[in-house]
Amino acid sequence: MNGDGDILVIANPAAGGGRCARELPRLRQALEQADGKFDLRLTCKPGDAEAMAREAVGKYSAVVLAGGDGTIYEAVQGLAGTDTALGVIPLGTGNDFIKVMDLPKGLEAQVEVLTKGSIRNFDLGRINDRYFANVVGLGFDATVNRAHYDITWLSGIPSYILAILKTMFRYGPQHVDVELTGLEGRACGSFSEDVQMLTIGNSHSCGGGFIFTPGASVEDGELDLNILHPIGNLQLMWHLPKVFMGTLQQTRYATLRRFCRMKVRSRVPLPVHIDGEVYDTGRLVHEIEVVPGALRVITGRKPDNQPA
C-alpha cells in the first residue's frame, strides 16, 4: 500500500500507548476496502510525522493522521497554509482535536469519511514559529503536562489528575505582562499581574477532556484565553470538577478573554506546552496569534446544501 495513492496515511504506532500499533491490521483492511487510493507510512520517532507531511504537500490531496493530538501537532507544521487537507483516524489518548471534526464512531466509518466527508477551513494558532491546532499552555498546566509524561502506569484523565496533585505543591504563580489585540488590530486589553497559568485555546478541549476555553471555535478567526489567577491548593482541588464542565470561569479564580494577537512577557522563562507537546525555548517573550482558515480539514459534517 505504497507509491500510487492519492491520500497519504501517516500512522504513529506509539500513539495511545500502543493502541495505534494494535489497530494497524484493522486499519490496513479498512483502507484496502475503501473507495480511495491510500499510501500508508509509519512513524518511527518524534518529528517523522512533520517531515512526512511536508514531503506530501503537492504530491497528495490529503494527509491522514492515524494517531493522537501529538501526531496531528507535528503534521500541522507541514500542512498549514497549503492546499493539502488533513484527515484524522483518532487512535491517540486524548483525541481532543477530533471533537470539532464531527467524525462518526468506529474506525471503518472514519475511513469512509476520508473520501466522502466535507472539507472545512479551520483556524490555527501560532506561538512564535510553531502552529497549534488545539491549545497552548503557559505556567501551571505546562508543568502538569511534563509531570504527566513521567507517569507511565496510568493514562488519560487519571494520569493528568495525578500530575496535578504532584505539581500543585511545587509550582507557584508567576508574573506576566500581557498585551492583547483583537479584530482589525484594535487593542482589546492588557494586564500585568501574577498568574497561575495562561491557557490559549483554538478549540475548546485539551488533555482528553479539560475545558478551559469553552467558547473557543476553530472557525471564528479568534483565539480564547483563560487566565487562572493565583489559587490555593484546596481551592484548586475544590474547583477542579468545573474544568471538566467548562465552568471554571464562573469562579473568581478564572477570567476569559478573546483576541487575535497576544504578547506575553515574563521575568523568568515559563514552562510551555503546545498541543500537549513540551516546548522549551528559554524565551521571556512569546508572541501568539490566530491564523484564520490556515488548515483544510476533512470532517464528517455534510455541506449545508447537502441533504442528510
CATH of the domain at 25: 3.40.50.10330
Whether 47 is covered by a domain: the verdict is: yes
What interhelical angle do 107-116 and 19-33 show, nearest 10?
Answer: 50
Whether 306 is covered by a domain: the verdict is: no
Secondary structure (3-state) at 187: strand
User: What average pLDDT does this structure show over 288-296?
Assistant: 98
For residue 184, what pLDDT is reported? 85
* Last-in-domain residue among 116, 139, 154: 116
User: What average pLDDT does this structure show over 101-108?
Assistant: 94
Whether 278 is covered by a domain: the verdict is: yes
Alpha carbons 172 and 205: distance in angstroms, whole number: 24
Mean pLDDT of the chain: 92
Residue 306 reports pLDDT greater than 60? no
Q: Same domain for 32 and 158?
A: no
Whether 122 is covered by a domain: the verdict is: no
DSSP H stretches of helix in the chain: 19-33, 48-56, 69-79, 107-116, 140-150, 156-167, 233-245
Please name the amino acid found at residue 131. Y
Alpha carbons 96 and 69: distance in angstroms, whole number: 7
Q: Same domain for 104 and 141?
A: no
Q: Same domain for 65 and 143?
A: no
Q: Check which CATH number belongs to the domain holding 221 and give it.
A: 2.60.200.40
Q: Same domain for 196 and 162?
A: yes
Give the domain extent around 77: 7-116
Q: Same domain for 187 and 242?
A: yes
- Find the Cα–Cα–Cα–Cα dihedral 203, 204, 207, 210, rounded to 10°: 170
Alpha carbons 35 and 112: distance in angstroms, whole number: 8
Query: What contacts 286, CB < 8 A, 6 or more positions away?
Result: 127, 128, 138, 263, 264, 270, 272
Number of domains observed in the structure of the chain: 2
Quick check: pTM over 0.85? yes
Alpha carbons 123 and 217: distance in angstroms, whole number: 8
Q: Same domain for 89 and 33?
A: yes
**Backbone angles phi and psi of 44, in degrees to 5:** -120, -25
* Greatest Cα-to-Cα distance within the chain, rounded to the nearest angstrom: 58
Alpha carbons 198 and 15: distance in angstroms, whole number: 27
Please name the amino acid found at residue 284. L
Q: Are 1 and 31 in contact (CB under 8 A)?
A: yes
- Quickly state the pLDDT bin for 302 (edges 50, 70, 90): low
User: If you count them, how many residues does the chain have?
Assistant: 308
Q: Same domain for 54 and 83?
A: yes
Residue 2 reports pLDDT greater than 60? no
Q: Same domain for 143 and 229?
A: yes
pLDDT in tens, 123-133: 999 999 999 99
Whether 2 is covered by a domain: the verdict is: no
Q: Are 151 and 163 in contact (CB under 8 A)?
A: yes
User: What average pLDDT does this structure show over 234-257?
Assistant: 94
Whether 125 is covered by a domain: the verdict is: no
Q: Same domain for 205 and 238?
A: yes
Residue 153 reports pLDDT greater than 70? yes
Q: Same domain for 105 and 145?
A: no
Cell representation of residue 216: 473557543
Q: Same domain for 135 and 201?
A: yes
Whether 25 is covered by a domain: the verdict is: yes
